Structure 1
Amino acid sequence: MSIEQPKLNRELEERKFSDIYYEEDPQLLNCMVTGSNADNETLEKAVFSKVIFKNVTFIRADFRRIDMTDVIFENCNLSNAVLSEGIINRVQFKDCKLTGVDFSNASFGNVTFEDCHADLCNFTEARFKLLSFSRSSLKSANFFDCNLQKVVFSQCDLNEADFIETNLDGIDISTSTFENVNISMNSLSGCIVSTQQAIEFSRLLGLKIID
């Protein structure tokens, strides 16, 4: 699976997040933002394009209906932020804290989550196309009624994650771990799993396995 990388200019202007308030429309374009604090900020329909955020905190920020294209978040904290109904295209989250982020009804395309803490994230009714979660914690994350196309969960912690009403045909979770996961049995057809996972799912179906 080939995921497009963010397309960034070689030279990016250094800016502060607060600069967004001096724009006619709430947008940040062609820049790098380092070490800013955007906790509890509220911006609806904000636009981030060709931006790198490093060591920025967005705790409890409300950016619903955001439009992000060609963006990198590196070592950022977005815990309990609201990004619902957002458009998120060619975006990377690296070493980020995403605990409790509301991504419900968002549209993702060519997005990667690497080494992230994304426990309790809400992805309800989100749409995913070409997306990779790798080495990330997604404990108790909610993927209820999502549309997943070409999505991989690589070496993730999916314990207590919720995939009810989500079709997992072609979705690879074989290298990820969980003690319990909430999945509709009719959604499992075609899901790519390991042998041990297949045994666990068989037990969920009520089968008794003997050697």
Structure 2
Amino acid sequence: MTNLFKIHQPKIPQNVTSVEFNDLKEEHYFKKCVIRDCSIVGEEIERIQFDQVVFENVSFIDVNFRFVELVDVIFDKCDLSNTEFCNGSVHRVEFKNSKLLGLNFADAVLRNVVFEECQARLASFGYAKLKQVKFQQCAIQSGDFYECQLDKVEFNQCNLDEANFEGTSLNGIDLSSCEFHELKVSAEKLAGCTVSEEQAIAFSRLLGLNIK
């Protein structure tokens, strides 16, 4: 699949300081640092900000960062399962080789974001706004994209089985390289979606057509 749009990468300085999350959490602001090889447990902080931050091999356990602000951030080999990022602002962020089971991005705004080789089953993007976002070789089974706004969003070689796109326009979205047996979509919002021949048969059944 050829990229039809450019995604701006996180701007991370060459020399960033290694810090401990607990040392700075009371400030609710992290800048130009790396947090690695640790667990962040039971934190509930609204409007926490991460600016030019790298997370390496970090597990988030029972974490609620509602209204989080992520700018120029990389998550590498992290576990964010069931983490709450709802209503967040996410710009120039990469999730690489990470576990995102049930990660909640509901009502969030995502710009210039890449998800690469992530396990994101049951991840929620309901009512979120995604612009210039790429999902590369991700497992997003039963993911929720209910009533999303998708603008320049790419799904490349992803497993989308039983994902929910109801109420979401798929105009300009290419699903032809993805795998799914069932997809929840709104028939009236399928126009302009690119699919493979096999996928087209499945969608035609959704539209009530009988194929001989």
State if a TM-score over 0.5 links the two structures: yes
Q: TM-score, normalised by structure 1?
A: 0.96
- Which residue, 13, 23, 29 being the options, matches 2:17? 13
What is the DSSP-based 3-state SS (H/G/I as helix, E as strand, rest coil) of the residue aligned with 2:112?
strand
What is the DSSP-based 3-state SS (H/G/I as helix, E as strand, rest coil) of the residue aligned with 1:56?
strand
Tell me which amino acid in the other structure corresponds to 1:16.
E
Unmatched 5+ stretches in structure 1: none
Q: How many residues align structurally?
A: 208
**C-alpha RMSD over aligned residues:** 0.9
Tell me which amino acid in the other structure corresponds to 2:97.
D
Q: Could you tell me which residue of structure 2 aligns to residue 35 of structure 1? A: 37
Q: TM-score, normalised by structure 2?
A: 0.96
Q: What is the distance in 2 between the residues matched to 1:87 and 1:176?
A: 27
Q: What is the distance in 2 between the residues matched to 1:40 and 1:151?
A: 32
Deviations 1:166-194, CA, capped at 9 Å, x for gaps:
00100111100101010000110001111
Of all paired residues, the percent bearing the same amino acid is 41
Q: What is the distance in 1 between the residues matched to 2:38 and 2:170?
A: 38
More strand by share: 2
- Which residue, 135, 138, 143 being the options, matches 1:136? 138
Tell me which amino acid in the other structure corresponds to 2:48.
A
Q: Could you tell me which residue of structure 2 aligns to residue 186 of structure 1? A: 188
Q: What is the distance in 1 between the residues matched to 2:95 and 2:111?
A: 13
What is the DSSP-based 3-state SS (H/G/I as helix, E as strand, rest coil) of the residue aligned with 1:119?
coil
Q: What is the distance in 2 between the residues matched to 1:193 and 1:179?
A: 13
Q: Could you tell me which residue of structure 1 aligns to residue 84 of structure 2? A: 82
Q: Could you tell me which residue of structure 1 aligns to residue 155 of structure 2? A: 153
Deviations 1:66-91, CA, capped at 9 Å, x for gaps:
00000000000010110000000000
How far the C-alpha of 1:22 sits from its partner, in A, is 4.7
How far the C-alpha of 1:21 sits from its partner, in A, is 2.6
Mapping of 1:164-179 within 5 angstroms? Answer: 164-179=166-181
How far the C-alpha of 1:20 sits from its partner, in A, is 2.1
What is the DSSP-based 3-state SS (H/G/I as helix, E as strand, rest coil) of the residue aligned with 2:209?
coil
Q: Could you tell me which residue of structure 2 aligns to residue 96 of structure 1? A: 98
Unmatched 5+ stretches in structure 2: none
Q: Could you tell me which residue of structure 1 aligns to residue 62 of structure 2? A: 60
